Structure 1
Amino acid sequence: MRSDEKLDAPGLKRRGKKKERLHWVARADIARDGYLPKTVRLHYDEAVPAHRRLIEAACHKLQAEMLEWASGKRNTVRPFDGTLGSLVRCYQTDEASPYRQIKWNTQRTYDQVLSVVEKAFGTRSLSALGIADFRKWYDAAKAPRAKGEPERVRKAHGIISMIRRLMAYGIAAEHAECGRLAAILDASRFKQPGRRRVRLELHHVEAFVAKALELGRLSLAIGTAVQFETLMRQRDVIGEWEPIRDGEKTGIVLNDRRWVNGLTWSDLANNLEVFKDTTKTGQTVAHDLKLIPMVVRLLDMVPTSRRVGPLIIDEEAQRPYAMHGYTREWRKVATAAGIPTGLWNMDARAGGISEADDSGADLDDIRSTAGHSQASTTVNYIRGGMGKSRKVTKGRQASRTVKNGTET
């Protein structure tokens, strides 16, 4: 008969009503201090005698790591022990890991996926993994949240992509089994999420601007117009909140984060000619806002006394929009303006690029305006491709006219 007293397994918890599952759970006070992982699923059956020793061993190991971290050795890199969970930790903490070189917001995104990987599969030994496991994990992650809802292909593909990154790091760090598993993944194909096909069009932007002005959200009107007309990314227009790493709380600070990278009124000071280093690629883009009537009209609505500091200011808070605040408030106005929920603020960039393509603009000119390093990236933003199609059709028709010696 099973009982807690018979298992020497610190941190062991049983969860689940219909089907009980075993988890190791970090002490609440240590987890609040930032310890990860907070929970680890234990894929063992307590009713199997041999599994009971494995449960105890896993709990003692995880408990010891947690207590070591809490004792002040928080920067200690825990050694690789052959499990997927330890590979995740090495990837995040090894000074030589490519993870340490990526930008903080990309790390944040990676951490979300890595947390899912570690919680779900962290105790699995790399030596015991194969293609069947990867397929099973992909299929489980892809399953709809509820009956009738769409499959979550983007989530599933993101997990597999992250495991590929882990194995690539493991090869470089000379961890056992990573080369074998990387070869398996290289030879395997998993369905990718479909590209977004929708885009904000001019009539959407005009409707949004009118409604934003009606609701007293001039900032949202300006931000959306600038995004659409200049093809700039949202964070290059409104800025972002970067974690403070130097300890100096200078500039605009909110919750230990400093506002950076957004457009300021000083960027517009040179006769509305803007030169901006983009945050993602570092490419410098140039825009003459005087040539954009919608943007000029909106900028003229800003009082002279307010034309200092960040261009886009939350009217209610009188500072740049808090993290996720711009997108949240944008959606409220978009809904009021009758813009479908399937259209997002980020689609303004794709809409502007697609409109440029439809107008027959040269692809390399569009690439430069958008701040892309490669034309292939620009092509991914073109939703519809009518511009190139028209150019090809006109060329074919002109060629036929020449061949036939007739006029059309």
Structure 2
Amino acid sequence: MRNDRPGYQYRANKDGTRVHYWNPRRAVKGASSALSIIRLPDDFTEDQISVECQRLTNQLRPEVRNAGNAPTFTGTISSLIECYRHDKTSTLHGVKHSTRIRDYEPSLRVLQKNVGDRDINALKASDFTRWFTGWKKKGHRRASGAIKLLRLILSYGAGERLRGCKQARDILSDMRFEQPGERTVKMTYDQCLAIVKKSAELECPSIGFVEALKFETALRRIDVIGEWSPPPEGGEFRWRGLTAGDISKEMILTLKTSKTGAAVARDLNSYTLVTEALKAYKLPEIGPVVIDEDYGKPYWENRYAEKFRKVRDAAGVPNNVWSMDTRAGAVSETVEATGSLEMAKDLATHTTVKMTKKYSRGDGLEASRRIAEARAESRK
């Protein structure tokens, strides 16, 4: 049985073809019998079936988990996590949906799977050290993320006066763990151009357009492709993001960034990569600007990342270059071209130059050459 398509079932037709379904009761234990089975498109590929089954399952799990009475704290880490997830006053419910799915939930799953049965009242510093060391073998960022969420849930438990949480939190707060190094990879202009051209060849030009727009404008991906998230009152996921109305007839893009609310205006006519991408990607007259060609709808985060990797690999771009590195490429190229961190800061809508420095990646060779030329010029 495949475990990458939770809830999947099918019905065979007489001609040998299959009708694909996602069954919520097969996907999530405890799902209501009132939930309907969803038929998947007949032309879905194997990969598309897996992605859709995972998306629907991940969407359903929190609803099932939060249904009914509040969970009972039994003293274990797992029960604390369930209380933290259920309590609407916890910090988990104060972050954006994308942050919760990308950062919080994966680390909570690591904790629940590996140490969920541990009694919080019996935890010692040696436990935390041993856990971190074990998690680090599977990835430094994974280990750091798990420790970060462990601090958060113990603080939540301490605030709710749950047994053992304050003592465990105090022990953990005095401990320091090695932090993962900052990323040093950046996407280059040539790499982005290769992705733009390859995406057109593979008939998924939306990928090239998104990466080109990010590279030229330093916008975050979420500000370009938008975000699917549930409304505060619960219910079906809704999309919000960049729409055709945000781009004028003169090709001036205006928006407010999702992270800081900073006002942004960009002349798309002035960007060579965007011009190249628009040879294959047609901007819609109404509705969301970026559409997933496979579904006819805006991208879900995981779908975009999956398709980006396929285009990147086909374009011959190294697999250590991620979509998130496009923004770093924009900032780095700006600093190299202008010698100004302030200009790069404005482009990326950072609040501090310190943050801009993290995105400006490279060995400083070109900057040092400009400085040497300027000093030599001043001596004449």
TM norm structure 1: 0.70
1:202 maps to amino acid: Y
**In the alignment, is residue 32 of structure 1 matched against residue 19 of structure 2?**
no
Aligned counterparts, 1:368-387, within 5 A: 368-384=346-362, 386=364
Moved more, 225-234 or 357-366: 357-366
Query: 2:331·2:360 contact (CA, 8 Å) conserved in 1?
Result: yes
Query: Offset of 1:132 from its aligned partner?
Result: 0.4
RMSD: 3.2
2:268 maps to amino acid: L
For each residue in 1:49-69, what CA deviation from the matched residue of structure 2 results, as whole angstroms up to 9, or x when unmatched? xxxxxxxxxxxxxxxxxxxx9
Query: 1:357·1:385 contact (CA, 8 Å) conserved in 2?
Result: no
Query: Offset of 1:233 from its aligned partner?
Result: 1.3
Query: Offset of 1:364 from its aligned partner?
Result: 3.1
Q: Which has the larger radius of gyration?
A: 1
CA change 1:372–1:214 in 2 (3 A) is same
Partner residue of 2:120? 126
Partner residue of 1:340? 318
1:307 maps to amino acid: E
CA change 1:115–1:218 in 2 (3 A) is closer
**In the alignment, is residue 257 of structure 1 matched against residue 237 of structure 2?**
yes
Counterpart-to-counterpart distance in 1, 2:331 and 2:343: 11
For each residue in 1:200-246, what CA deviation from the matched residue of structure 2 results, as whole angstroms up to 9, or x when unmatched? 10011112222222333322221111011011111211122223565
- Listed as ranges, the gaps of 5+ residues in structure 2 are 1-24, 33-62
- Listed as ranges, the gaps of 5+ residues in structure 1 are 1-27, 36-68, 145-151, 249-255
CA change 1:351–1:247 in 2 (3 A) is same
Partner residue of 1:100? 93
Query: 1:91·1:99 contact (CA, 8 Å) conserved in 2?
Result: yes
Query: Offset of 1:73 from its aligned partner?
Result: 9.2
Aligned counterparts, 1:271-350, within 5 A: 271-299=250-278, 306-350=284-328
Counterpart-to-counterpart distance in 2, 1:401 and 1:303: 48
Query: 1:200·1:347 contact (CA, 8 Å) conserved in 2?
Result: yes
Query: Offset of 1:115 from its aligned partner?
Result: 2.5
2:255 maps to amino acid: K
Query: 2:243·2:289 contact (CA, 8 Å) conserved in 1?
Result: yes
How many pairs align? 325
Query: 1:205·1:224 contact (CA, 8 Å) conserved in 2?
Result: yes
Equivalent pairs: percent with the same residue?
32
Determine which of 175, 200, 203 is the counterpart of 2:187.
200
Determine which of 112, 117, 122 is the counterpart of 2:111.
117
1:113 maps to amino acid: S
Partner residue of 1:87? 80
Counterpart-to-counterpart distance in 1, 2:31 and 2:239: 24
Query: 1:357·1:387 contact (CA, 8 Å) conserved in 2?
Result: no
1:114 maps to amino acid: L
Query: Offset of 1:328 from its aligned partner?
Result: 1.9
Partner residue of 1:142? 136
2:313 maps to amino acid: T
Determine which of 198, 204, 213 is the counterpart of 1:217.
204
Query: Offset of 1:390 from its aligned partner?
Result: 2.6
Query: 2:200·2:280 contact (CA, 8 Å) conserved in 1?
Result: no
CA change 1:167–1:393 in 2 (3 A) is farther
Query: 1:286·1:369 contact (CA, 8 Å) conserved in 2?
Result: no
Query: 1:354·1:385 contact (CA, 8 Å) conserved in 2?
Result: no
CA change 1:113–1:122 in 2 (3 A) is same
For each residue in 1:13-72, what CA deviation from the matched residue of structure 2 results, as whole angstroms up to 9, or x when unmatched? xxxxxxxxxxxxxxx98952359xxxxxxxxxxxxxxxxxxxxxxxxxxxxxxxxx99x9
Partner residue of 2:246? 267
CA change 1:260–1:361 in 2 (3 A) is farther
Moved more, 274-283 or 153-162: 274-283
Counterpart-to-counterpart distance in 1, 2:367 and 2:168: 43
